């Protein structure tokens, strides 16, 4: 299970690295938005699977909510102040740290984690 969690963390680390080597703020935002959309789509697909228990669905729902909050913060929606262009690199680091913490608080089986990892790879 540790490997699958590391793969999810690696996904956000990779997005953060891409943000940091990109100069254009609009491209940085697109990288972050695309990473959120891809992960959300993978979570939606796994959540709708009959293989996933109700407890896992609840965990996936909390993870999706955390992702949505980050996306809202990036774009300045739903009461969040928009992340400034100068703060995008720091925000990318913050997303990595926050999603790692969320990942540790949510209990998901190895099979479900593996499904999420596979879908993320296929969707990117």
Class of domain 2-123: mainly alpha
pLDDT of 4 over the 70 cut: no
- For 102-124, the pLDDT digits (tens) are 655 566 665 566 667 677 777 76
- For 37-85, the pLDDT digits (tens) are 988 888 888 888 887 888 888 888 888 898 899 999 999 999 999 999 9
- Give me 71's structure tokens: 């996306």
For 119, how many CA atoms within 13 A lie in the half-sphere containing its CB? 20
- Beta carbons of 14 and 99 less than 8 angstroms apart: no
The H or E element containing residue 28 is helix 25-47
- Token pair 């891409």 is found at 18
Predicted model pTM? 0.80
- Beta carbons of 85 and 51 less than 8 angstroms apart: no
109 DSSP assignment: -
- For 6-29, the pLDDT digits (tens) are 667 788 899 999 999 999 999 999
Delimit the domains of the chain by residue range: 2-123
């Amino acid at each position: 299970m540790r490997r699958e969690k590391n793969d999810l963390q690696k996904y956000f680390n990779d997005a953060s690295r891409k943000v940091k080597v990109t100069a254009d703020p609009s491209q940085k935002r697109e990288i972050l938005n695309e990473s959120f959309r891809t992960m959300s789509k993978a979570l939606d697909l796994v959540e709708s699977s009959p293989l996933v228990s109700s407890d896992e669905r609840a965990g996936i729902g909390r993870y999706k909510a955390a992702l949505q909050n980050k996306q809202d913060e990036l774009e300045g929606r739903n009461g969040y102040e928009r992340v400034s262009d100068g703060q995008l690199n720091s925000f990318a680091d913050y997303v990595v740290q926050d999603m790692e913490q969320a990942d540790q608080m949510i209990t998901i089986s190895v099979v479900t984690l593996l499904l999420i990892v596979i879908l993320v790879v296929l969707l990117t």
